[in-house]
Amino acid sequence: MAPKESKASNAQAGEIIAAFGRKSAIGKSTLIRCSADLCDLTGRPWSGISVDRSERMPRLYPGRIEQLNLPLESDSRHDPYAQTRAFGILDAAIDTVIKQKSTLLVDVGSGEYPQAVLDHMARARIDSHLVRHGVSFTALVVTTSDAMVLSDVPLLVEAIQGAIPNARIIIALNGKLRAFPPIAGTDADKVWKASIQPLLARFPSITIPAIAPGSWEPFEERGLRFSEVGLLNPGEIEADEHTLMSWTGESRGLVVTRHGEFSEWLHDAWAALATVFAQPLQDGGKDE
Protein backbone atom coordinates (compact mmCIF):
# COMPACT_ATOMS: atom_id res chain seq x y z
CA MET A 1 0.00 0.00 0.00
CA ALA A 2 1.39 3.41 -0.95
CA PRO A 3 1.85 5.92 1.90
CA LYS A 4 -0.82 8.51 2.50
CA GLU A 5 -0.09 12.06 1.44
CA SER A 6 1.41 14.48 3.94
CA LYS A 7 -0.91 17.34 4.91
CA ALA A 8 1.97 19.83 5.10
CA SER A 9 2.01 22.94 2.93
CA ASN A 10 3.67 22.70 -0.45
CA ALA A 11 4.56 26.39 -0.64
CA GLN A 12 8.27 25.57 -0.63
CA ALA A 13 10.23 25.69 -3.87
CA GLY A 14 12.18 22.59 -2.84
CA GLU A 15 13.37 20.83 0.26
CA ILE A 16 16.41 19.31 1.93
CA ILE A 17 16.15 16.41 4.35
CA ALA A 18 19.30 15.52 6.26
CA ALA A 19 19.83 12.68 8.74
CA PHE A 20 22.13 13.56 11.66
CA GLY A 21 23.67 11.55 14.48
CA ARG A 22 27.22 11.51 15.86
CA LYS A 23 27.21 7.77 16.53
CA SER A 24 27.51 5.13 13.82
CA ALA A 25 25.06 2.29 13.10
CA ILE A 26 22.03 4.13 14.49
CA GLY A 27 19.99 4.09 11.27
CA LYS A 28 20.79 7.37 9.47
CA SER A 29 21.55 5.66 6.16
CA THR A 30 18.52 3.41 6.58
CA LEU A 31 16.23 6.44 6.80
CA ILE A 32 17.81 8.09 3.77
CA ARG A 33 17.51 4.85 1.78
CA CYS A 34 13.86 4.55 2.74
CA SER A 35 13.29 8.19 1.80
CA ALA A 36 15.01 7.76 -1.57
CA ASP A 37 12.86 4.75 -2.42
CA LEU A 38 9.77 6.60 -1.24
CA CYS A 39 10.61 9.51 -3.56
CA ASP A 40 10.89 7.10 -6.48
CA LEU A 41 7.64 5.36 -5.52
CA THR A 42 5.71 8.63 -5.40
CA GLY A 43 7.34 10.22 -8.46
CA ARG A 44 9.21 12.93 -6.57
CA PRO A 45 12.42 14.22 -8.23
CA TRP A 46 15.35 13.83 -5.86
CA SER A 47 19.11 13.67 -5.54
CA GLY A 48 21.34 12.75 -2.64
CA ILE A 49 24.67 13.32 -0.95
CA SER A 50 26.53 10.95 1.33
CA VAL A 51 28.87 12.90 3.63
CA ASP A 52 31.04 9.95 4.54
CA ARG A 53 34.05 7.96 3.42
CA SER A 54 31.95 4.87 2.83
CA GLU A 55 30.93 4.36 -0.80
CA ARG A 56 27.92 2.19 -0.01
CA MET A 57 25.24 4.80 -0.68
CA PRO A 58 26.62 5.96 -4.06
CA ARG A 59 26.93 2.29 -5.09
CA LEU A 60 23.29 1.64 -4.19
CA TYR A 61 22.09 4.72 -6.07
CA PRO A 62 24.59 5.35 -8.88
CA GLY A 63 24.10 8.71 -10.50
CA ARG A 64 21.60 9.73 -7.80
CA ILE A 65 23.68 9.94 -4.61
CA GLU A 66 27.05 11.68 -4.74
CA GLN A 67 29.80 11.15 -2.19
CA LEU A 68 31.27 14.11 -0.32
CA ASN A 69 34.64 13.36 1.23
CA LEU A 70 36.12 15.77 3.74
CA PRO A 71 39.78 16.63 3.12
CA LEU A 72 42.52 15.13 5.25
CA GLU A 73 44.01 17.29 7.98
CA SER A 74 47.25 17.53 5.99
CA ASP A 75 45.32 18.98 3.02
CA SER A 76 43.68 21.58 5.23
CA ARG A 77 47.05 22.73 6.54
CA HIS A 78 48.15 23.60 3.00
CA ASP A 79 44.80 25.05 1.96
CA PRO A 80 42.70 26.73 4.69
CA TYR A 81 39.66 26.56 2.40
CA ALA A 82 40.07 22.89 1.48
CA GLN A 83 37.01 21.86 3.48
CA THR A 84 34.91 24.69 2.07
CA ARG A 85 35.91 23.60 -1.44
CA ALA A 86 34.85 20.02 -0.63
CA PHE A 87 31.39 21.30 0.27
CA GLY A 88 31.06 22.65 -3.25
CA ILE A 89 29.20 19.41 -3.95
CA LEU A 90 26.56 20.41 -1.41
CA ASP A 91 26.40 23.97 -2.73
CA ALA A 92 25.82 22.70 -6.29
CA ALA A 93 23.15 20.28 -5.07
CA ILE A 94 21.32 23.12 -3.32
CA ASP A 95 21.38 25.14 -6.56
CA THR A 96 19.74 22.18 -8.27
CA VAL A 97 17.03 21.99 -5.61
CA ILE A 98 16.27 25.68 -6.12
CA LYS A 99 16.11 25.39 -9.91
CA GLN A 100 14.22 22.10 -10.12
CA LYS A 101 12.03 22.42 -7.00
CA SER A 102 13.25 18.97 -6.05
CA THR A 103 14.26 17.11 -2.90
CA LEU A 104 17.83 16.70 -1.67
CA LEU A 105 18.52 13.83 0.74
CA VAL A 106 21.70 14.12 2.83
CA ASP A 107 23.16 11.20 4.75
CA VAL A 108 25.54 12.75 7.30
CA GLY A 109 28.14 10.31 8.61
CA SER A 110 29.13 9.85 12.24
CA GLY A 111 32.02 11.28 14.24
CA GLU A 112 33.27 14.64 12.98
CA TYR A 113 30.93 14.79 9.99
CA PRO A 114 27.83 16.37 11.62
CA GLN A 115 29.82 19.26 13.06
CA ALA A 116 31.71 19.74 9.79
CA VAL A 117 28.43 20.00 7.88
CA LEU A 118 26.94 22.41 10.41
CA ASP A 119 30.09 24.54 10.51
CA HIS A 120 29.99 24.90 6.72
CA MET A 121 26.31 25.77 6.70
CA ALA A 122 26.87 28.45 9.33
CA ARG A 123 29.96 29.97 7.67
CA ALA A 124 28.37 29.92 4.21
CA ARG A 125 25.12 31.38 5.61
CA ILE A 126 23.13 28.65 3.95
CA ASP A 127 20.13 29.12 6.22
CA SER A 128 19.37 32.61 4.88
CA HIS A 129 20.09 31.41 1.33
CA LEU A 130 17.49 28.65 1.67
CA VAL A 131 14.91 30.96 3.23
CA ARG A 132 15.39 33.51 0.45
CA HIS A 133 14.59 30.85 -2.14
CA GLY A 134 11.76 29.22 -0.18
CA VAL A 135 13.63 25.94 0.35
CA SER A 136 12.86 24.09 3.58
CA PHE A 137 15.50 22.27 5.59
CA THR A 138 14.45 19.31 7.73
CA ALA A 139 16.95 17.80 10.17
CA LEU A 140 16.21 14.23 11.20
CA VAL A 141 18.00 13.75 14.53
CA VAL A 142 18.30 9.97 14.70
CA THR A 143 18.63 8.06 17.94
CA THR A 144 18.31 4.54 19.29
CA SER A 145 17.38 3.67 22.86
CA ASP A 146 21.05 3.42 23.87
CA ALA A 147 21.85 5.78 26.75
CA MET A 148 24.96 7.27 25.12
CA VAL A 149 23.18 7.90 21.83
CA LEU A 150 20.20 9.46 23.62
CA SER A 151 22.42 11.77 25.65
CA ASP A 152 23.85 13.30 22.48
CA VAL A 153 20.47 14.27 21.04
CA PRO A 154 20.02 17.56 22.98
CA LEU A 155 23.55 18.65 22.07
CA LEU A 156 22.98 17.91 18.41
CA VAL A 157 19.64 19.71 18.38
CA GLU A 158 21.32 22.78 19.89
CA ALA A 159 24.11 22.64 17.30
CA ILE A 160 21.62 22.38 14.43
CA GLN A 161 19.60 25.33 15.72
CA GLY A 162 22.77 27.39 16.01
CA ALA A 163 23.87 26.67 12.44
CA ILE A 164 20.45 26.54 10.74
CA PRO A 165 18.02 28.64 12.80
CA ASN A 166 15.10 27.98 10.46
CA ALA A 167 15.60 24.23 10.34
CA ARG A 168 12.61 22.01 10.98
CA ILE A 169 13.83 19.47 13.52
CA ILE A 170 12.28 16.02 13.80
CA ILE A 171 13.43 13.46 16.37
CA ALA A 172 13.67 10.04 14.70
CA LEU A 173 13.30 7.25 17.26
CA ASN A 174 14.82 4.13 15.75
CA GLY A 175 13.73 1.00 17.57
CA LYS A 176 16.50 -1.18 16.12
CA LEU A 177 17.91 -2.04 19.58
CA ARG A 178 14.68 -2.07 21.57
CA ALA A 179 11.38 -0.26 21.51
CA PHE A 180 10.79 3.15 23.05
CA PRO A 181 10.51 4.23 25.79
CA PRO A 182 13.58 2.60 27.39
CA ILE A 183 13.21 0.07 30.17
CA ALA A 184 12.33 1.76 33.47
CA GLY A 185 15.21 2.28 35.85
CA THR A 186 17.96 1.93 33.25
CA ASP A 187 20.51 4.60 32.37
CA ALA A 188 18.68 5.06 29.08
CA ASP A 189 15.41 5.65 30.96
CA LYS A 190 17.05 8.36 33.06
CA VAL A 191 18.34 10.16 29.97
CA TRP A 192 14.98 9.70 28.27
CA LYS A 193 13.06 11.35 31.09
CA ALA A 194 15.57 14.12 31.75
CA SER A 195 16.54 15.08 28.20
CA ILE A 196 14.43 13.43 25.49
CA GLN A 197 10.89 13.85 26.80
CA PRO A 198 11.32 17.66 27.05
CA LEU A 199 12.53 17.69 23.42
CA LEU A 200 9.56 15.61 22.31
CA ALA A 201 7.31 18.26 23.81
CA ARG A 202 8.99 20.88 21.60
CA PHE A 203 9.66 19.01 18.36
CA PRO A 204 7.73 16.47 16.28
CA SER A 205 8.99 12.90 16.18
CA ILE A 206 8.69 9.76 14.13
CA THR A 207 9.19 6.19 15.27
CA ILE A 208 10.82 3.58 13.07
CA PRO A 209 10.28 -0.01 14.24
CA ALA A 210 13.00 -2.63 14.31
CA ILE A 211 13.47 -4.78 11.23
CA ALA A 212 12.65 -8.40 12.04
CA PRO A 213 15.98 -10.13 12.74
CA GLY A 214 17.32 -11.91 9.67
CA SER A 215 14.63 -10.63 7.32
CA TRP A 216 16.85 -8.24 5.35
CA GLU A 217 20.45 -9.53 5.56
CA PRO A 218 20.38 -11.88 2.51
CA PHE A 219 19.08 -9.06 0.32
CA GLU A 220 21.59 -6.56 1.71
CA GLU A 221 24.40 -8.93 0.77
CA ARG A 222 23.24 -8.74 -2.84
CA GLY A 223 23.32 -4.93 -2.82
CA LEU A 224 19.57 -4.56 -3.31
CA ARG A 225 17.49 -1.50 -2.51
CA PHE A 226 14.66 -1.75 -0.03
CA SER A 227 12.00 -1.10 -2.68
CA GLU A 228 13.41 -3.74 -5.04
CA VAL A 229 12.49 -6.33 -2.43
CA GLY A 230 9.61 -4.77 -0.53
CA LEU A 231 7.47 -4.01 -3.59
CA LEU A 232 7.49 -7.61 -4.81
CA ASN A 233 4.31 -9.59 -4.21
CA PRO A 234 5.25 -13.27 -3.89
CA GLY A 235 1.88 -14.17 -2.42
CA GLU A 236 0.15 -13.30 -5.70
CA ILE A 237 2.84 -13.29 -8.38
CA GLU A 238 4.78 -16.50 -8.97
CA ALA A 239 7.55 -14.69 -10.86
CA ASP A 240 8.23 -12.63 -7.74
CA GLU A 241 8.60 -15.85 -5.73
CA HIS A 242 11.19 -17.11 -8.19
CA THR A 243 13.03 -13.79 -8.10
CA LEU A 244 13.30 -13.91 -4.33
CA MET A 245 14.40 -17.55 -4.37
CA SER A 246 17.07 -16.81 -6.98
CA TRP A 247 18.44 -14.00 -4.82
CA THR A 248 18.71 -16.03 -1.62
CA GLY A 249 18.95 -19.65 -2.82
CA GLU A 250 16.33 -20.55 -0.22
CA SER A 251 13.08 -22.51 -0.27
CA ARG A 252 9.86 -20.82 -1.23
CA GLY A 253 8.42 -20.99 2.28
CA LEU A 254 11.48 -19.44 3.89
CA VAL A 255 11.95 -16.64 1.40
CA VAL A 256 8.24 -15.70 1.33
CA THR A 257 8.21 -15.55 5.14
CA ARG A 258 11.38 -13.48 5.17
CA HIS A 259 9.93 -11.13 2.55
CA GLY A 260 6.67 -10.73 4.42
CA GLU A 261 8.36 -9.59 7.60
CA PHE A 262 10.64 -7.19 5.77
CA SER A 263 7.89 -5.66 3.60
CA GLU A 264 5.77 -5.06 6.70
CA TRP A 265 8.65 -3.11 8.24
CA LEU A 266 9.17 -1.14 5.03
CA HIS A 267 5.51 -0.13 4.87
CA ASP A 268 5.65 1.10 8.49
CA ALA A 269 8.89 3.01 7.81
CA TRP A 270 7.43 4.63 4.70
CA ALA A 271 4.28 5.62 6.58
CA ALA A 272 6.39 7.37 9.23
CA LEU A 273 8.68 9.07 6.71
CA ALA A 274 5.78 10.33 4.59
CA THR A 275 5.11 12.85 7.37
CA VAL A 276 8.68 14.18 7.16
CA PHE A 277 8.43 15.70 3.69
CA ALA A 278 7.54 19.38 3.77
CA GLN A 279 5.79 19.07 0.42
CA PRO A 280 2.94 16.57 0.05
CA LEU A 281 3.82 13.20 -1.39
CA GLN A 282 1.75 12.22 -4.38
CA ASP A 283 0.50 8.65 -4.51
CA GLY A 284 2.62 7.24 -7.28
CA GLY A 285 2.51 3.60 -6.25
CA LYS A 286 -0.10 0.90 -6.34
CA ASP A 287 -1.86 -0.38 -3.28
CA GLU A 288 -0.71 -3.79 -2.20
Please tell me whether the peptide bond between 181 and the residue prior to it is cis, using omega within 30 degrees of 0. yes
Q: How many CB atoms lie within 10 A of CB 163?
A: 20
pTM (two decimals):
0.91
Whether pLDDT at 288 is above 50: no
Between 172 and 75, the more confident residue is 172
Which amino acid is located at 265 in the chain? W
Please write the tens of the pLDDT for every residue from 122-146: 999 999 999 999 999 999 999 999 9
Residue 13 confidence (pLDDT):
78
Band the pLDDT of 283: cuts 50, 70, 90. low
Band the pLDDT of 71: cuts 50, 70, 90. confident
Residue 80 confidence (pLDDT):
81
Whether pLDDT at 23 is above 60: yes
Whether pLDDT at 10 is above 60: no
Least confident of 6-20, 52-66, 89-103, 184-198: 6-20
Please write the tens of the pLDDT for every residue from 181-237: 999 999 999 999 999 999 999 999 999 999 999 999 999 999 999 999 999 999 899
Q: Could you give the domains of the chain?
A: 14-213 (3.40.50.300)
Residues 6+ apart with CB under 8 A from 165: 127
